[in-house]
Structure 1
């Protein structure tokens, strides 16, 4: 996809170029020596079936059995966990082109995002283009843009309410997918159209609007329409289940995506007056990303390997099922070239450090600009 902005990475730096050459060579040699593909394998296909089943099976149970009370909410939560799993472990690889060597398969897996209510093209622009290219760069990486009463960057003006964001941030994380499927997609596509970036990344803007509106209509027709017409649940009960499902999904996505670039170790590099960055785009990723819970098979499996955030940002074209295997190569090479490789041991330790980071971002000590 096409890039945007006026940032210029120092891709001609000799040290950065040599590091990238050596690391890419070693990773390529790993796959050649093992005789394996960089794309998905049996583990990936099993995960695809599992996550889709985890999302749809509870929905079928709700429609068929019409459980009441906590049983119904429990099934809605399971749907949310499955929905997050689809986003983290299926559509993410599809939209990066790393699920399969076949473009049509990647597109199909990418569109599982539309299946659960969001829009694949918006995701590609925000995530693949803006986030992966300009990681932790103010005014370029949308992931650190101020959201409502949240502050994710020292360069963002500080407000009094930010003092408490480490307490209320979890609720906003939980609301993430709910806002995405209801409001955010429409705001995003309009924004990208005004910025001109939409024209650079699609063949037809009109087609993308039709896809967005059409898939939204299909999504709400089955996720809301089927319970309305085939069950005896009230409108309020149906909305509650829908909302609870998204709370679970939003939190599941948030605790995996957010800490990887919001921990004390990360940097928020700023360009000079000419828009030039200190490092190459490749090396920039190691200064702005943190791995966590890499020894946890559960976190790695459910989180789509995104706890190996460094490997993902260096090699987004490689399927996440291989990240744990290539991580030692990245660690060794980074050490040789005296380039940082940030990693946290445990999942809960990471959540605590992420909370501390959010708390620090709510203090005057974190300011880089005048409030």
Structure 2
């Protein structure tokens, strides 16, 4: 884990230094900006994500320090903790409660429970470019909106005063490092500098968006709703198995870059366990699922997961269509 941390932080420093201060050509600088966006996503997946779950280290202080890096790769760590750790992990894939499946609300329909709109007929064609805007939305809009909401999902928000300072202080630091300083230092017209900033975020947004979508919004996952009394009928752990899917679990590169998020089942069941242990957990979870007749859903490769996501998007682009059963590797008793 420390080796991965050193790799990603060193890569960030090298890429940021070359993009902002390096004597490189405009074309190469643009390529490096895209790589920096991918590196930012990698830091979020591998370091900040574990730290925010308290899984990076047994030392709480170490987790707190590394979780602050999230503010420098795009999102406010405090707001993300509320929307993801508290809400998403409790109400996974429950429409109206899990705000992580609200991607471009009104533009992309990710659940059969959502209201269908005519322009969503083409969502399978424009979804990927919209994913690319995810980090920009986080940076300029989403964090502020979620922070100001009285309620996030079923969670009632009560922010302590220091969190107001942290939100605006870290945003100002990000704008300084990634907008103001490059505009002042990079020897290029301001339009080209802003283009590099846009490329960085388009790459980062697509990477983050796809990793999440391929784990939750593919064929076979359920989008359950509460009964008349507001109660979910399945136990929480069973619900996690029904709403999460592994992808490319045996691909070493995917496992290294995604910080274990390609083993989404193990992560959702054990979010406080460091992701380097997921491969060992997987055989136990798979066997237990088989023993109790529960689903254990996997797409064997990144490509198969992407195709499944595309098929689901296309199916949900039609009105009153409910997702068909999965084309997945499922384990049952």
Compute the TM-score of the two structures, normalised by the length of structure 1: 0.83
Count of matched residue positions in the alignment of Structure 1 and Structure 2: 321
Name the structure with the higher helix share: 1
Moved more, 231-240 or 302-311: 231-240
Q: How does 1:271-310 map to 2 (within 5 A)?
A: 271-310=226-265
Give the superposition deviation at 1:225: 2.3
Aligned equivalent of 2:74: 117
Gaps of 5+ in 1: 1-43
Distance change (3 Å), C-alpha of 1:196 and 1:360: closer
Q: Quote the Cα distance in structure 2 between the aligned partners of 1:296 and 1:130.
A: 29
The partner residue of 1:197 within 156, 168, 171 is 156
- Is the 1:157–1:367 Cα contact (8 Å) retained in structure 2? no
State whether structure 2 residue 115 is matched by structure 1 residue 160: no
- Is the 1:227–1:233 Cα contact (8 Å) retained in structure 2? no
Deviations 1:21-42 (A, max 9, x none): xxxxxxxxxxxxxxxxxxxxxx
- Is the 1:117–1:215 Cα contact (8 Å) retained in structure 2? no
- Is the 1:294–1:308 Cα contact (8 Å) retained in structure 2? yes
**SS of alignment partner, residue 298 of structure 1:** helix
**SS of alignment partner, residue 339 of structure 1:** coil
Q: Quote the Cα distance in structure 1 between the aligned partners of 2:259 and 2:131.
A: 18
Give the superposition deviation at 1:231: 2.9
- Is the 2:41–2:73 Cα contact (8 Å) retained in structure 1? no
**SS of alignment partner, residue 65 of structure 2:** helix
Aligned equivalent of 1:263: 218
Q: Quote the Cα distance in structure 2 between the aligned partners of 1:229 and 1:270.
A: 51
Deviations 1:306-331 (A, max 9, x none): 11111011000101111011100000
**SS of alignment partner, residue 343 of structure 1:** strand
**SS of alignment partner, residue 162 of structure 2:** helix
Q: Look at both structures and tell me which one has the larger radius of gyration over its CA atoms.
A: 1
The partner residue of 1:245 within 200, 205, 225 is 200
Q: How does 1:1-371 map to 2 (within 5 A)?
A: 44-145=1-102, 147-148=104-105, 149-192=107-150, 197-199=156-158, 202=159, 204=160, 206-366=161-321
- Is the 2:104–2:130 Cα contact (8 Å) retained in structure 1? no
Give the superposition deviation at 1:97: 0.6
Give the superposition deviation at 1:208: 0.9
- Is the 1:54–1:78 Cα contact (8 Å) retained in structure 2? no
Q: Quote the Cα distance in structure 1 between the aligned partners of 2:47 and 2:16.
A: 19
Q: Higher relative contact order by CA 8 Å / sep ≥ 6: 1 or 2?
A: 1
Q: Quote the Cα distance in structure 2 between the aligned partners of 1:74 and 1:146.
A: 27
- Cα RMSD of the aligned pairs, angstroms, is 1.6
Give the superposition deviation at 1:192: 4.5
Give the superposition deviation at 1:354: 0.6
**SS of alignment partner, residue 364 of structure 1:** coil
- Is the 1:55–1:78 Cα contact (8 Å) retained in structure 2? no
- Is the 2:112–2:320 Cα contact (8 Å) retained in structure 1? no
Give the superposition deviation at 1:74: 0.7
